[in-house]
Homo-oligomer: A and B are copies of this chain.
Amino acid sequence: MSQDTSSSTAYTASLHYDRRLYRQDIAGSMAHVRMLARQGIISKRDAQAIVKGLADIQEEIRGGTFPWREDLEDLHMNVEARLSEKIGEPAGRLHTARSRNDQVSVDMRLYAKEAIRDTVARLRQLQQALLDQAERHREVILPGYTHLQRAQPVLLAHHLLAYFHMFQRDVERFQECYQRTDVLPLGSGALAGVPYPIDREFLARELGFARISDNSMDAVSDRDYLVEYLADAALCMAHLSRLAEELVLWSSQEFDFLRLDDRYVTGSSIMPQKRNPDFAELARGKTGRVYGHLLALLTVLKGLPLTYNRDLQEDKEGFFDTADTLHATLEVFAGMVSTARFNQGRMRQAAEESYVLATDLADYLVGKGVAFREAHGIVARLTSYAKEQDKRLHDLTLDEYHQFSPHFDEDVYKVTLESSVAARDVPGGTAPARVEEALANARALLKEGTSKATRGSGNTPLGRRKR
């Protein structure tokens, strides 16, 4: 059987990707050994030897001097073999009351917990960047779009905060995923528990887990927390891809709303005039990769009987690549957003040149007593007329207005981008006062989140938003 031979093939090997779990693996082993000694299952002396040996190995790996052996198919076998070389016979005691199944599981959960904390911290940075830009552009007006058609004027700050709130939901989801990740599987044995008087609560405390798993058969084959992370990441990438799309659109000559910093564009060897938003495009493309990893793990789980099956080894690479991708992308976006220069003049011009005040003109007529549907018809005709004349609504004379309705008056010229925005004075609306409130709330949210994140930076659960 391949375990016993040196011919263990490349097909089942995982060393090339699981070696990144070395810190978690060694921490898990140390806690386990301390527990075994504390419970009298192994001797204190053996425990000390093992802990010492593991500490040395950790130094070797960290320092790049660890003699990795490709003929041993994974991290765990490498560490064990090395420990044996170092301390001899007591090394074997490390596996008392533990199976490979619950060992690998605890490693991944420790790793995932760190990854989630990292994810949340990076989301916070991007939210901060969005908030900073929103605060810096409190008075900038641009056309809000539906169907990629200019619709109604909005504040740039309001537009940016829309993304802030998407990422806020992402933060919440990751925090909830954290709670289901924060469960110690160790002590489940191969599948049925272990026949030793171990102390699982001690292990949980040592390793910083909030609680222990409820059922050993579930614990050794549970990959829910990884699926959940991948699903949360997929939705977060969907949000980033939406923002990426807008950065690409806004960087085009047609929109010209935005100048990305030189760090985030590339030129062309052939076409010197170009400023390609490669980072935003690549991020949009990387959405596919994360969706793919989610589907991959769901496919792995489909139809798998209890308990551990080797299929589950496929849980790692997709997770690592997802976390790496998401983290790098969040970092790029935080930088890209915070260094972007918005072309306020062009935004305003786009709003003015279009007919985004049409709704307000209809509301104006309604205010004068015209029925809504009739007002809408009048403005539709008026807008068509203006378009044909190649005029903006503001450039029409009062006489021209009167051709469409006698209810227009001098005060029609008081319908402006500013008045339009100000009129949307409802909670969640784009009126400056409401946006100020929203900015203040966002600041508070980040402050709260940050302070909790700091507290949470040990092994305790992350702070969650009160509702």
* Distance to closest chain B CB from A270 (angstroms): 5
Task: Report copies per complex.
Answer: 4
The reply to whether A380 and B195 contact each other, CB–CB distance below 8 Å, is no
Task: Note all chain B residues with C-beta closer than 8 A to A272.
Answer: 358-359, 362, 376-377, 379-380, 383
* Distance to closest chain B CB from A149 (angstroms): 5
On whether A285 and B270 interact (CB within 8 A), knowing A193-B428, A215-B165, A305-B249, the answer reads no
A interface secondary structure, majority: helix
- A70 within 8 Å of B (CB atoms): no
The reply to whether A214 and B284 contact each other, CB–CB distance below 8 Å, is no
The reply to whether A289 and B285 contact each other, CB–CB distance below 8 Å, is no
- A224 within 8 Å of B (CB atoms): yes
On whether A303 and B274 interact (CB within 8 A), knowing A2-B266, A372-B95, the answer reads no
Stretch at the interface among A59-67, A120-128, A257-265: A257-265
The reply to whether B165 and A214 contact each other, CB–CB distance below 8 Å, is yes
Stretch at the interface among A22-30, A173-181, A337-345, A394-402: A173-181
Which residue on chain B has the smallest CB distance to residue A246?
B305
The reply to whether A354 and B215 contact each other, CB–CB distance below 8 Å, is no
- A44 within 8 Å of B (CB atoms): no
8 contacts across the A-B interface (CB closer than 8 A): A1-B267, A93-B372, A148-B252, A150-B274, A192-B429, A197-B426, A272-B359, A299-B299
Which of A169, A210, A248, A274 has the most B CB atoms < 10 Å from its CB? A274
Count chain A residues whose beta carbon lies closer than 8 angstroms to a beta carbon of B. 176
- A413 within 8 Å of B (CB atoms): no
The reply to whether A314 and B288 contact each other, CB–CB distance below 8 Å, is yes
B-contact bits for A177-188, CB 8 A (1 contact / 0 none): 001100000011
Which residue on chain B has the smallest CB distance to residue A321?
B317
The reply to whether A216 and B300 contact each other, CB–CB distance below 8 Å, is no
A227 CA to B147 CA in the complex, in Å?
21
The reply to whether B212 and A427 contact each other, CB–CB distance below 8 Å, is yes
* Distance to closest chain B CB from A143 (angstroms): 8
Which residue on chain B has the smallest CB distance to residue A169?
B224
